[in-house]
Amino acid sequence: MNKILLIIQREYLSRVKKKSFIVLTLLVPILFVGMIGAIGYLAANQANMGDRKLIAVVDESGWFKDKLANTPTIQFAYASGSYEDVKTGFTKSDNDFLLYIPQSTKGIMLYGKKKASLTVSQTVEERINAVAQAHRLAEAHIDSAVMADVQKPLHMEVKQLTDAGEKDADGSVTFIIGMVAAMLIYMSLILYGVQVMRGVIEEKVSRIVEVVISSVKPFQLMMGKILGVGLVGLTQFILWIGLTVAISTFGGGLLMKHSGAATQAKEMKMNAGTMPAAQAAAGGDNEMGEVMRTLNNVNIPYTVGCFLFYFLFGYLLYSALFAAVGSAVDSETETQQFIMPITLPLIFTFALAQTVIVANPDGALSVWLSIIPFTSPIAMMIRLQFGVPMWQLGVSMALLIAGFMLTVWVAGRIYRVGILMYGKKANYKELAKWFMYKD
């Protein structure tokens, strides 16, 4: 046991002291927060970055004159000439697109100097349909305000009845939590499992392992390497989460201090016509309130505890397989034939997580995926947010621990032989022979 602890200490300290580890740990949260901020900024300021499209409108029907509402990225300009004249001079004009509406409103065309983006075509079509609907309602002597009130969607709250009473059960926020947790586990299993494999290959090729196993058993070496790299991954994830929260909080505070002018301008614009500021603020507050109420009903300690369990034992299970692969080859280029069967269950489960598991978290396939050790780390984190019976969670955890122990035993038998094999390309038949060798 002391030898395993020494190997763990060596693997952990040798990695966390590297400049690459320190730089990556500090850089990832900054890049993540910066990327989210940049996406929000660019999305909100498209109109101020020269991306606004000018659309010339030739309306022969007379329905749409001065009624197509502009957007931050699209501006409609109504042409006074005939359709033929406007179309002839279109390529030499400053307009990006030409919208032609015949008198019968059938065969409406959108011409462009370049292919129209999906956003542009959908926005123009939405604006046309909105005006056409209002015009038809007016012709039928139907009040558009009454029609809008009739078509107003009803809001439904989702609740869960428990012995303790009612609680919010909106699946949107919990789905995001489950997907983020599953994605983190998926990334960690691949990222740190490959690190274990590379470490084994490096020691094998450099012949350092021949010196090391003169003092420790191959199984002890493999277990120490797996646990050491696992602690490195756990440390990095904790630092990433803490730094991301700290940077987001600090950046959010700065934005709140300097957003007074922008908020005031927005309220003036709302008061000018489109929507009352109080109504918009109330709508935003209601949406944020719903999100906060949903988060308050999420059992954070329970979720974090399950995440750490599946992160740790899922990593241990897969890292044992990656260590066996590393011991069987002499270079990373030879690992492809072995890596695909290992990672396939993860890829398969992550793909199903966004469709089958979310659509039917209590279905037979979802339950089995959350119980089988090779798929449970991802599937269970998705199902967990929809409520999982304790017996299923217990069975899943027990099987994951048993699967880890079995995998370590199998990988250890391959590792003890493969770690000393040089210059021979291994295949599945060869691995089976190494497994059957007696001590």
Decide: pTM greater than 0.85: no
What's the rounded Cα separation, in Å, for the pair 280 and 268?
A: 12
Q: Which of 151, 177, 212 is the last residue of a domain?
A: 151
Rg (alpha carbons) of the chain, rounded to whole number: 30
Q: CB neighbours (10 Å) of residue 158?
A: 10
| AA identity, residue 317 | L
Q: Which of 116, 151, 186 is the last residue of a domain?
A: 151
Q: Are strands 74-78 and 53-59 parallel, antiparallel or unpaired?
A: parallel
Mean pLDDT, to the nearest integer, of 291-297? 57
Domain-located, residue 7: no
Mean pLDDT, to the nearest integer, of 33-49? 71
* Cα separations in angstroms, 358 against 140, 177, 233, 295, 361: 44, 12, 28, 18, 6
Mean pLDDT, to the nearest integer, of 335-345? 83
Q: CB neighbours (10 Å) of residue 179?
A: 18
Whether residue 330 is found in the same domain as residue 391: yes
In the chain, how many domains are there? 2
Domain-located, residue 197: yes
Structural tokens at position 288:
């944020």
What's the rounded Cα separation, in Å, for the pair 133 and 123?
A: 15
Q: Is the pLDDT of residue 287 over 70?
A: no
Q: How confident is the model at residue 373 (pLDDT cuts 50, 70, 90)?
A: very high
Whether residue 242 is found in the same domain as residue 377: yes
Domain-located, residue 14: no
pLDDT value for 76: 87
Whether residue 176 is found in the same domain as residue 127: no
pLDDT value for 383: 87
pLDDT value for 254: 62
CATH number at residue 126: 3.40.190.10
Q: Is the pLDDT of residue 277 over 50?
A: no
Q: Which residue, 217, 189, 422, 199, is CA-closest to 328?
A: 422
pLDDT value for 275: 43
SS (H, E, C) 167-194: EECCHHHHHHHHHHHHHHHHHHHHHHHH
Q: Residue written as tokens 């309220």?
A: 267
Whether residue 277 is found in the same domain as residue 309: yes
Q: How confident is the model at residue 45 (pLDDT cuts 50, 70, 90)?
A: low
Residue percentage of the chain with pLDDT more than 70: 81
Highest mean pLDDT among 105-119, 239-253, 370-384: 370-384
Write out the E strands in 35-181.
53-59, 74-78, 97-101, 109-112, 159-162, 165-168
pLDDT of 393-429, one tens digit each?
999 999 999 988 888 888 877 777 777 776 667 777 8
pLDDT value for 402: 92
pLDDT value for 397: 94
Could you say which DSSP state residue 218 is in?
H
Q: What angle do CA 120, 122, 126 make, to 5 degrees?
A: 115
* Cα separations in angstroms, 169 against 156, 159, 183, 305: 11, 5, 22, 21
Q: How confident is the model at residue 372 (pLDDT cuts 50, 70, 90)?
A: very high
Whether residue 299 is found in the same domain as residue 377: yes
Could you say which DSSP state residue 67 is in?
T
Residue 103 lies in domain: 49-151
Q: Is the pLDDT of residue 435 over 80?
A: no
Whether residue 191 is found in the same domain as residue 146: no
